[in-house]
Amino acid sequence: MPKNDTGGSSITRRVFMKGAAFAAGTAAVGLGGAAGYDTWLKPAQAHAQSDEHLAYTYHQLHCGGACPMACKVRDGRLVQVQPNEAGGDRYATICLKGLSEVQHIYGKGRIQTPLKRVGERGSSDFVAISWDEALDLMVDTITDLQKQHGKDCVLVKQSTESLAQFMAPLFGAQTGGNGGIDNGTGNGLDPAIGHGGGYAYATGEARDWTNANMVLMVGSNFLESTLPQVRLFFEAKEAGAKMVTVDPHFSTTAGKSDQWIPIVPGTDAALFLGMVTAIIDNKWYDEDFVLQHTALPYLVDAKTKKLVRDHAEDPNAEEPETGEKNPFFVWDQSSSQKRAYTDAAAKPTLKGTFTVDGASCTTAFSLLETAQKHYTLEWASEKTGIPADTIKTLAQEYACNGPASLAVGWGGSDKMANADIGGHAAALLAALTGNIGKPGAHVGVFVGGAWNGYSASLGAWELPEQLAAATSKVASYDLKYQDNNVRAFICLGDAINQKYGNQNKTIEWVKKLDFIVTIDAYFTEGAKWSDLVLPTTSRFENDEEIGGIASGYNHLVLQAKVIDPLFEAKTEFWIEREIAKRLGVDQHLPKTARELVEAKLANSEDPYLAALTVDDIVKNGYLYPLEGIEKPRTAYEDGAFLTTSGRMDVYYDNLVEFGQELPAYEDCNEAYADNPLRAQYPLQLANVRTRFRIHNQFWDARWTQQFYEPYVELNPTDMQARGLAAGDTVEVLNDRGSFKCKVKGNEAVRPDSARMYEAATSDYLVEGNLQNVTNDTMIERGYALMTGPVIPFSDTLVEIKKA
């Protein structure tokens, strides 16, 4: 047990922040002098009348549940966290991480005072300074830089968990544009549906799986990544849905499924293409749905491969012309001529080549049939390592025993460079079978809940025009490689570690910046590279009674004050107001957090929300159900998709130059089976999530740390081949860098792969950072996609040796 957890032993205001030093139990390292949790948690003296009350907040947003919490506060201290049951037992969810906050909010990773760097960048050598000094320094330095280089020389990047609202507009800073995270599969899936914004949010929610005959889970470990909804998985299973999980590893979800189908990493697109072939060859497709609701009967010019339209599109048009205004065409069976697809009298032909206005045209379906000839079951089997019969049966079950839901993920093949091709093929599966827009039939990422259930469209606080974020000319992931104007970086959370792969390159870039500020409750990897580190509050602390509001899984939930801010931490709202004062624009900001919450309700376009008051929500137990949530959300029940033509536009003629108008298989970037690099680095390193962590958070949560410490896992055969034993320290390396950590053998891990929970930063490993080895190659095609390329974190080969 680390001795110094009690804190209070600090003798100097100069502080070296290094988690590992704490973990090792080194004495006399302090965080600025305030008390640690042991002091707080010491059995209180039996007060005759201790003050005890319940207070309400919500927890993490990354889980998608924003679990509503009822917190017991005794004499000003948090002593117990329980689920808030005001929304009924379906929303009364909590996990070990939430329960452990009683200790973790006092954890040794907390930043206790504003810190100013005095040592070299990366040396973690800081002095404690006052808030006034810190904020003056921040505002002065940034405004100076902006005078020289323009407002957009400041970059603000925000973790999903950060509650800041005004940081970028206050400074007129840029936010980095596309981020390349969680958009791999969505890039390929979403254009076909007009849904998901490039992030593949599912078209329905997991509650509706009880109406499915099959849930096909590919590349998601739902039972660890969506803890607030775990019971929905089991409810579906009990209701008779066959749960099938496709995963290279025997994941927690695979273990609870009816069937586990192991797959070669990075080959999900080949599995889907094999299924498409089986569905076409065996005529398992739903011809009515295909003809009425998809682009597959549209005519394509054989020469240009472009869809035939009424007139050429204006290349300078801001928005693509809808199909209504500029129709696509089908071949009408009755009149043997082209007809607008919108023409109700047209009887579209599915297959064939026709002469249209002197040009040879083929239906998209026929082109698909031809393209699929290459993707035989045997080919798919060879790529994926899945027997051809298994693929065929899977295709038959998905197509013929529906309704079926196809649940793709963000943490598996999404983080491979070829994820978009899999997404595109997934769209074809739904389009061919009609497994979309019906009870039990959905497609997309089901992780979370807030993103596929009902979510509140909260309004915003209106700012004057002069307070607006700048546009970003270079996307975030390109900043380290392309010329750009960024000189200062404000990180709300650990952007430096989490938002970029290939850490050594990130650090090369970051070192060149003039000024870096981190605002976080916990000291992070990125904080080490910062000039200024500012402590913000956890979800439990506030200086006002009402601190914020969030849209969780089908409900609104308030963040009310549980306890006063700990140490010298301040809320992000307070920090933003202080910055605004220094910039002389504070009159444009809400005066209190409550006023901000009120505006978010009142300014909502949703009349249901606009009619709600903060007091209504308080009276209801600090959470409020959204309208109509009794029925699980099902998008596109009317068959009207939010695409150019209003149908499932599965033919992507904007990608003709990449040969991707229909999904054409390409290997992933690095981790493909026969990459010659495997001679040196034979193992693919899968970066996955764990129920014990939210990314880089909870490493210092001692109550959960006892169940889980960071390590890399290998199949026992790979352990043996390297002479490794459980608990050995190993070096994980490739040409980009290396790190050292403990190793464990696990039969669940696929041979020739290694598995590790991402966001293991150097303070919690033996040496170095997982991010040192990850791939950050942005492939050319990615730039033509909806949200730009994806950072292929798991498209990474490594070797592992005894250290």
Ligand X SMILES: Nc1nc2c(c(=O)[nH]1)N[C@H]1C(S)=C(S)[C@@H](COP(=O)(O)OP(=O)(O)OC[C@H]3O[C@@H](n4cnc5c(=O)[nH]c(N)nc54)[C@H](O)[C@@H]3O)O[C@H]1N2
536 makes contact, choosing from Mo ion, ligand X, ligand SF4, none, with CB < 5 to 8 Å by partner type, with ligand X
Provide the β-strand partners of residue 764: none
Q: Smallest gap, in angstroms, from Cβ of residue 792 to ligand X? A: 10
156 makes contact, choosing from ligand SF4, Mo ion, ligand X, none, with CB < 5 to 8 Å by partner type, with none
65 makes contact, choosing from ligand X, Mo ion, ligand SF4, none, with CB < 5 to 8 Å by partner type, with ligand SF4
Q: Is 494 in the site for Mo ion (CB under 5 A)?
A: no
Q: Smallest gap, in angstroms, from Cβ of residue 714 to ligand X? A: 14
Other CB atoms closer than 10 Å to residue 92's CB: what's the count? 17
Dihedral of the alpha carbons of 492, 494, 497, 498, in degrees to the nearest 10: -80
Nearer to Mo ion, 182 or 568 (CB): 182
Nearer to Mo ion, 573 or 692 (CB): 692
Nearer to ligand SF4, 82 or 746 (CB): 82
What are phi and psi for residue 19, nearest 5 degrees?
Answer: -55, -40
What are phi and psi for residue 340, nearest 5 degrees?
Answer: -60, 140
Q: Is 220 in the site for ligand X (CB under 6 A)?
A: yes
696 makes contact, choosing from ligand SF4, ligand X, Mo ion, none, with CB < 5 to 8 Å by partner type, with ligand X
For tokens 């931490």, the residue is: 569
Q: Is 188 in the site for ligand X (CB under 6 A)?
A: no
* Residues contacting 381, CB < 8 A, separation 6+: 274, 387, 388, 391
Q: Smallest gap, in angstroms, from Cβ of residue 70 to ligand SF4? A: 12
771 makes contact, choosing from ligand X, Mo ion, ligand SF4, none, with CB < 5 to 8 Å by partner type, with ligand X
The two three-digit tokens of residue 413, written as one number: 């093949």
98 makes contact, choosing from ligand SF4, ligand X, Mo ion, none, with CB < 5 to 8 Å by partner type, with ligand SF4
Nearer to ligand X, 257 or 643 (CB): 257
What are phi and psi for residue 274, nearest 5 degrees?
Answer: -60, -40
Q: Which stretch binds ligand X (CB under 6 A): 1-9, 160-168, 346-354, 452-460?
A: 160-168
The two three-digit tokens of residue 642, written as one number: 């939010």
Q: Smallest gap, in angstroms, from Cβ of residue 161 to ligand SF4? A: 10
524 makes contact, choosing from ligand X, ligand SF4, Mo ion, none, with CB < 5 to 8 Å by partner type, with ligand X
Nearest residue to Mo ion on Cβ basis: 182
94 makes contact, choosing from ligand SF4, ligand X, Mo ion, none, with CB < 5 to 8 Å by partner type, with ligand SF4
Answer for which of 62, 480, 555, 647 binds ligand X (CB under 6 A) is 62
Alpha helices in 60-215 (DSSP H): 96-99, 101-104, 131-149, 167-171, 184-193
**C-alpha to C-alpha distance for 38 and 40, rounded to whole angstroms:** 5
Q: Smallest gap, in angstroms, from Cβ of residue 548 to ligand SF4? A: 15
- The DSSP result for 646-666, as a single string, is SSB----GGGGGGT-SS----
Tell me how long the chain is: 803
Q: Smallest gap, in angstroms, from Cβ of residue 92 to ligand SF4? A: 11
**C-alpha to C-alpha distance for 581 and 202, rounded to whole angstroms:** 42
One-letter amino acid at 123 equals S
Binding to ligand SF4 by CB under 6 A, coded x per residue (else -) over 672-701, reads: ----------------------x-------
Q: Is 534 in the site for ligand X (CB under 6 A)?
A: no
Q: Angle formed by the axes of helices 268-281 and 388-400, to 10°?
A: 70
Nearer to ligand X, 299 or 533 (CB): 533
686 makes contact, choosing from ligand X, Mo ion, ligand SF4, none, with CB < 5 to 8 Å by partner type, with ligand X
Q: Smallest gap, in angstroms, from Cβ of residue 739 to ligand X? A: 11
Size of the residue set binding ligand X (CB under 6 A): 63
222 makes contact, choosing from Mo ion, ligand SF4, ligand X, none, with CB < 5 to 8 Å by partner type, with ligand X
Binding to ligand SF4 by CB under 6 A, coded x per residue (else -) over 56-95, reads: ---xx--x-x-x-------------------------xxx
The two three-digit tokens of residue 404, written as one number: 């079926």
The two three-digit tokens of residue 274, written as one number: 């094999």
Answer positive or negative: Cα dihedral of 84, 89, 95, 99. Answer: positive
Nearest residue to 275 (alpha-carbon basis) of 397, 366, 170 = 397
Size of the residue set binding Mo ion (CB under 5 A): 1
Q: Is 478 in the site for ligand X (CB under 6 A)?
A: no
Nearer to Mo ion, 182 or 208 (CB): 182
Answer for which of 268, 478, 661, 731 binds ligand X (CB under 6 A) is 268
Q: Smallest gap, in angstroms, from Cβ of residue 8 to ligand SF4? A: 29
**C-alpha to C-alpha distance for 117 and 129, rounded to whole angstroms:** 10
**C-alpha to C-alpha distance for 424 and 653, rounded to whole angstroms:** 13
The two three-digit tokens of residue 590, written as one number: 């809400």
Q: Smallest gap, in angstroms, from Cβ of residue 755 to ligand X? A: 6
**C-alpha to C-alpha distance for 22 and 551, rounded to whole angstroms:** 36
Q: Smallest gap, in angstroms, from Cβ of residue 220 to ligand X? A: 3
**C-alpha to C-alpha distance for 721 and 610, rounded to whole angstroms:** 63
Binding to ligand SF4 by CB under 6 A, coded x per residue (else -) over 40-59, reads: -------------------x
Contacts with Mo ion in 170-199 (CB under 5 A)?
Answer: 182
Binding to ligand X by CB under 6 A, coded x per residue (else -) over 488-527, reads: ----xxx---x--x-----------------xxxx-x---
Contacts with ligand X in 549-578 (CB under 6 A)?
Answer: 572
Q: Is 47 exposed, middle or buried (0-12, 13-18, 19+ CB in 10 A)?
A: exposed
Answer for which of 111, 496, 623, 688 binds ligand X (CB under 6 A) is 688
Q: Cβ(447)–Cβ(201) under 8 Å?
A: no
Nearer to ligand SF4, 145 or 227 (CB): 227
- The DSSP result for 187-219, as a single string, is HHHHHHHT-GGGS-B-SB-GGGGGG-SEEEEES
Q: Smallest gap, in angstroms, from Cβ of residue 349 to ligand X? A: 36
The two three-digit tokens of residue 114, written as one number: 């504003």
**C-alpha to C-alpha distance for 527 and 530, rounded to whole angstroms:** 5
Nearer to ligand X, 252 or 326 (CB): 252
Q: Is 222 in the site for ligand X (CB under 6 A)?
A: yes
Alpha helices in 345-460 (DSSP H): 364-372, 377-384, 388-400, 419-433
Q: Which stretch binds ligand X (CB under 6 A): 142-150, 413-421, 427-435, 471-479?
A: 413-421
409 makes contact, choosing from ligand SF4, Mo ion, ligand X, none, with CB < 5 to 8 Å by partner type, with ligand X
Answer for which of 63, 128, 308, 475 binds ligand X (CB under 6 A) is 63
* Residues contacting 162, CB < 8 A, separation 6+: 492, 493, 519, 572
Name all contacts of 321-329 with Cβ < 8 Å and 24+ positions apart: 321/644, 322/644, 322/645, 322/646, 323/644, 323/645, 323/646, 323/647, 324/646, 328/295, 328/298, 328/299, 328/645, 329/298, 329/299, 329/356
Helix (H, G, I), strand (E, B) or coil at 381: helix
Nearest residue to ligand SF4 on Cβ basis: 98
Helix (H, G, I), strand (E, B) or coil at 323: coil
Size of the residue set binding ligand SF4 (CB under 6 A): 13
The residues binding ligand X (CB under 6 A) are 62-63, 159-163, 181-182, 218-222, 224-225, 227, 246-249, 251, 263, 265-266, 268, 409-413, 415-416, 447, 492-494, 498, 501, 519-522, 524, 536, 572, 686-689, 691, 693-697, 758-759, 770-771, 774, 793-794
Note the residues at the interface with ligand SF4 (CB under 6 A): 59-60, 63, 65, 67, 93-95, 97-98, 227-228, 694
